[in-house]
Structure 1
Amino acid sequence: MMRKLMAVFAHPDDEGVMSGTMAHYIEQGDEVMLVCTTRGEAGEISDPVLATPENLGEVRQKELEEAARIIGVQQLVFLDYRDSGMAGTPANDDPRCLLQAEPARVIGDLVALIREFQPDVFVTFEPFGWYGHPDHVTTGQHATAAFYQAADPARFPERGAAFQASSLYQSVFLFTRFREIALAAKAAGYIEGEGFFSEEPRPEQVAIEQEITHQLDVRPYVDLKNQALAAHRTQFGEDDEFGKIPPEMMLEFNG
């Protein structure tokens, strides 16, 4: 019997954390809808040849379209909110960004998608948003609210008939484990610095990792995951430090 999985994330490349899970579902004959609440307009640009700040959102949309094709995702949906940027940056104040959007509007958009797609399994961010990114936190909050409100006929009656998805899961980014890998790779001389993982994990991250209830072995899909992640060229250039870490060291994290 075919199942349906709906995953809601904030930026192109966020899907990489669970691309193996999506590939597993698809290989089983299930249908996957991937929803991205922004187009990552405030992200990094690894090479100025690839994009400009003005067209980065358009370029990253195409990158996610390619990544989704590699994974096999049947439905990819973008919501029309702008990337809010990292906490404390000017992008937070852009009236077009997700952080400034009226919550009811975002929740209503997601409720409509849930009622139309009717997923069995629904996945989004955990409450801390992996590392506290405003869009991750906001997307997780609104998506979780939409999961419950989609089942209430009194909520957003104009957005379709009520539907109750069977299961809600919150995706966890294993920050502490990835940091261990980064430190080991630096000690072995594969990379020069820990970059994003130079700081100690926050208490919220440690606590969330200790509350994990479900894990899926996706080692058979690691090559596919890497191919899909490579589609995000603006975010992971040829000189990306973590691309220098040997596959055998990354296997535990990616699998």
Structure 2
Amino acid sequence: MSSSQKPFDHVLVTIPGVFLHLIQNDSSLQLASGDLTITTINEAESVVAVIARVGDQVQWPLTKDVSAVKLDESHYFFTLRVPNNNQKQGEEDYDVLSYGLTVASKGQEGVLKELDEALERYSILSVEKLENVLGWEVVAPRETSPEEMKISGEKRELVEESSAAYWTTVAPNVEDYSSRFARWIATGSGQVVRGILWCGDVTVERLKSGNDFFKRRMQPASSQSQISPRAMESVKKVKRLTEMSKKVATGSYLEW
């Protein structure tokens, strides 16, 4: 293979000031923060893979079996399928992960448009609207820029905590959507993706749950470092997906 045929990277878009959460049924766990970068892996004139990466901590492939849902200008979530290496007879051959992305979006209209274009091209992007989520957990990231977070630790902390509360509030919606989407992909049912019953309403009880979660995180000596066994298992899957996508990024995509 000549040097001109070797795989090479091309950065499509970089979004500074993001927080990435792993979403569980009733909580969220921050996985990474920093810049979101969407990169293509090219061979000659062909794109052979597309990788999303947050900082140096977490990355995953963008493919047409990845759902990306834009909830507003500051919040996206992703449904990812991870091959199940420990599959038992009768089980699905994949696990499902749900990632919530929060963006400090003030002043980033241009690059967010580029992000939407990349997600629409390389994954399945839909735009949804959540009703009743109109509080500080939405306002804080929308009215904060990445530059302001660098200057003010207080603003960074506010966006970080609002991100955790937001994804904890909407977690049941996301988990329900993710499982439905994964089944839709597995069966190839041909339904319209926008019609997979995204539950757009967030109840008062769940808004209270998100705010209570925020208050617990702000208390000194809180138990936020205690992670449930289920969350620990999901974190292992996150690491496995990251390692798999690193193989893709280094040109070992044929091994996947």
Q: Structure 1 or 2: larger helix share?
A: 1
* Bigger share in strand: 2
TM-score by length of 2: 0.32
Relative contact order: is structure 1 or structure 2 higher (C-alpha 8 Å, sep ≥ 6)?
Answer: 1
